[in-house]
Chains A and B, each alone.
Chain A
Amino acid sequence: MSMTQHAEPAVTSPPAPGPKETDGRTSERPLALRLLARPEVGVFLGAAAVYVFFLIAAPPVREGASMANILYSSSTIGIMALPVALLMIGGEFDLSAGVAVITSALTASMLSYQLTMNVWVGVTVALLVSLGIGFLNGWMVVKTGLPSFLVTLGSFLILQGVNLAVTKLVTGNVATDDISNMDGFGQAKKVFASSFEVGGVNVKITIIYWLVFAAIATWVLLRTKYGNWVFAVGGNKDSARAVGVPVAFTKISLFMLVGFGAWFIGMHQLFSFNTVQSGEGVGQELIYISAAVIGGCLLTGGAGSAIGPVFGAFMFGMVQQGIVYAGWNPDWFKAFLGVMLLGAVLINLWVQRTATRR
């Protein structure tokens, strides 16, 4: 199956040269089929299908501004879907990712406000808190050997409660105070939540970050030793350890990477909306995970890519906004979303099956 092609980088020793290609046991498959067998190609076709569909069904989608809006929506999902996907390739799972975004935003906002600090202080501490949450998740998974599903379900509930209780305790309300008039806000907004004009179209900066992060993640996965470690610990933890892969380090760092993503998106939300409601974020974890799965990351680990989740997130943004651009009956909103996504995943699956069945 699709795992086989990724099992290769999992072994750190170089593949045995020579006989493999010429001994006749495996004949070279046509380029098109080999290409189709890659998980990200299936999701690319799915995304393209959804895009073309809405291009026809919803005239406003053809405008540049609409595309910028769709990409913005995709990018806020996509920036989180990337580390979530890497974590899944590494064989683990994070259910706390959605509320962790809000935890980070709340930390930055409340710390700056309550201590009347420059907002960068809050931003820095929030980063440390987010990385700390990731570290704790990873550390517990590695130490206890419990499924990450259970560990992060626990942290999901803890964070959800803490978000609410601490916010209430500190601010006396369930939402944070407006920090938009504080020192450093303007700068931070420029970094995390600005936008610029391209040919009269307003483009949000998160789109750029999204693509840059995806490029970095792709490079790390395919070109670095760390990338090999990620595939290895997700494919087979024990044999990875046997060949000298630092399993604990790899897993914990992947959880911390999710923490970093949560911090980044949390900061984006804080600096674009000025205040944060403590009850938000619940349910988002499933959207991030869906984007990663649609993007070709296996729930069992060991396979996937960084570019796949980019298309997965795009598909989410495209369908979510496309339905509105098409002006369809909003009662069916969630049902449309589900059908579209399931359809796209099935195309993805079918493409992969046809390509690999030989």
Chain B
Amino acid sequence: MDRSSHSRTRRMAPFVAVAAAAALTLAGCSSSSGGKKSTEDSSGASAGKASTPRMTVALVTHQAPGDTFWDIVRKGAQAAADKDNIKLIYSADPNAGNQSNLVQNAIDQKVDGIAVTLAKPDALKDVIGKAKTANIPVVGLNSGLSDWKNLGLLEFFGQDETVAGEALGKRLNTEGAKKVVCVIQEQGNIGLTQRCDGVKKTFTGSTEVLNVNGTDMPSVKSTITAKLTQDKAIDYVVTLGAPFALTAVQSLTDAGSKAKVATFDLNKDLTTAISKGTIQFAVDQQPYLQGYLAVDSLWLYKNNGNYSGGGEQPVLTGPAFVDKTNVAAVAKYAANGTR
């Protein structure tokens, strides 16, 4: 049949592709600026290594795939694990039911400690109880500041999202802002909503929330542009993630707006934008620190019986402000993907 002859010629396509790619490479189309060659080979932080017996720790978060923030948490956790002679098992699922199954999975593996995020505390209540029955210490991180104690966790490392929002709101007052739009990239996410609520609480001007489709950058850009056109009085755009702040800057140009941009959370490009002055400041909750401390604390507990905060108080990792005055010190760590 003619069908096979067609597919035979088509089958060559991948080979042609590889050959073309190789040809292009050989043609020496290299870039004289930027690229990997321009960055120095910089490795992350590394301390000595503990000589304590090997232990296993599970870190179970509610990360959605491909989120920069959680990647930094994981790097912090891995750094602590490497230092403490710990085997780190990382797993994540944004669905609370699935996350609870992952915790159960860790219990079944008889790990020596579990670090867990409490984005939906009620869903994890039972499985945390099971961990306690199995005598596995559990610590909390990132979200769940109001629930970790009730659930009987050993200690907690994180930032209160509302407190972080409040801090940003206060900062906006000193900046002299009048009208703020708070951009939520994932409608219905509790932590994001709390941040905007916190801003609203302390900011003396008016605050409005804007929902955007976070999985589609062009649509994020148009929607922020639309909002700035609809309400010309907006003089500050607050985003809840670094990539969205960078997009908001483009929206300002499109809308011909004079508003300024502030954001929660950091990344490499954002530190550049802060030093250039296109973005005013960022509230950093130090995700690396959250991952690092949570894992390290389980090592301390096992080997020396310590617990931070004495089981009474949470350990706060933020809010820390990064602005033009201190961005230089932070930038090199952000470039490594650890701040």
Contact = CB atoms under 8 A, between A and B. Distances in A.
Contacts, number: 213
Nearest to A101: B216
Nearest to B242: A175
B192 interface: no
A226 B108 CA distance: 58
Contacts of B221: 272
Interface stretch (B64-72, B119-127, B283-291): B64-72
Interface string B218-230: 1101110111011
B170 to A, nearest CB: 24
A277 B35 contact: no
A182 B34 contact: yes
Given A181-B34, A281-B215, A333-B211, A63 B7 contact: no
A122 to B, nearest CB: 10
B240 to A, nearest CB: 14
B64 A280 contact: no
B14 A284 contact: no
A17 B278 CA distance: 69
B7 A143 contact: yes
B68 A333 contact: no
Contact of A325 (B66, B209, B230): B230
Nearest to B269: A178
Chain A CB within 10 Å, residue with most, of B66, B67, B223, B231 = B66
B25 interface: yes
A131 B18 CA distance: 12
Interface in B239-296: 243, 246-247, 250, 254-256, 267-269, 272
Chain B CB within 10 Å, residue with most, of A273, A326, A331, A334 = A273
Contacts of A205: none
A104 interface: no
Nearest to B37: A116
Given A66-B226, A163-B66, A324-B226, A120 B29 contact: yes
Given A65-B256, A272-B250, A325 B226 contact: yes
Interface string B14-33: 10110011001100011111
A277 B211 contact: no
A73 interface: yes
Contacts of B215: 98, 279-284
Contacts of A273: 217, 243, 246-247, 250
A124 B24 contact: yes
Contacts of B31: 112, 116-119, 182-184
B36 A116 contact: yes
Interface string A277-297: 111111110010000000000
Contacts of B38: 116
- Size category of the A interface is 35 or more
Nearest to A195: B254
A183 B33 contact: yes
Contacts of A246: 2-3, 6
Interface in A141-170: 142-143, 160, 163-164, 167-168
A209 interface: no
A121 to B, nearest CB: 5
A138 to B, nearest CB: 8
Given A73-B219, A182-B34, A174 B250 contact: no
B222 A115 contact: no
B105 interface: no
Contact of B254 (A69, A121, A280): A69
- At the interface, is chain A mostly helix, strand, loop or mixed? helix
A98 B218 CA distance: 13
A168 B256 contact: no
Contacts of A77: 219
Contacts of B217: 269, 272-273, 280
B13 interface: yes
Given A330-B209, A334-B187, A248 B6 contact: yes
B267 A175 contact: yes
Contacts of A261: none
Contacts of A287: 216
Given A69-B225, A116-B36, A173-B337, A135 B218 contact: no
Interface string A44-80: 0000000000000010100101100110110011000
A321 B3 contact: no
B151 interface: no
A248 B337 CA distance: 46
A173 B187 contact: no
Contact of B229 (A65, A117, A248): A65
Interface in B172-220: 184, 187, 208-211, 213-219
Contact of A69 (B71, B184, B222, B268): B222
A64 to B, nearest CB: 11
B13 A174 contact: no
13 contacts: A65-B256, A73-B222, A124-B21, A139-B7, A139-B11, A183-B32, A185-B34, A246-B2, A246-B6, A277-B66, A330-B184, A331-B209, A334-B187
Given A129-B17, A272-B221, A279-B64, 16 more contacts: A69-B229, A76-B216, A113-B35, A113-B36, A125-B17, A128-B17, A139-B11, A167-B66, A168-B71, A177-B36, A269-B217, A279-B67, A283-B213, A320-B219, A321-B223, A327-B231
Q: What 10 A-B pairs are tightest by C-beta distance, nearest first? A: A279-B66, A116-B35, A182-B34, A128-B17, A73-B222, A183-B31, A181-B34, A324-B226, A76-B218, A118-B29
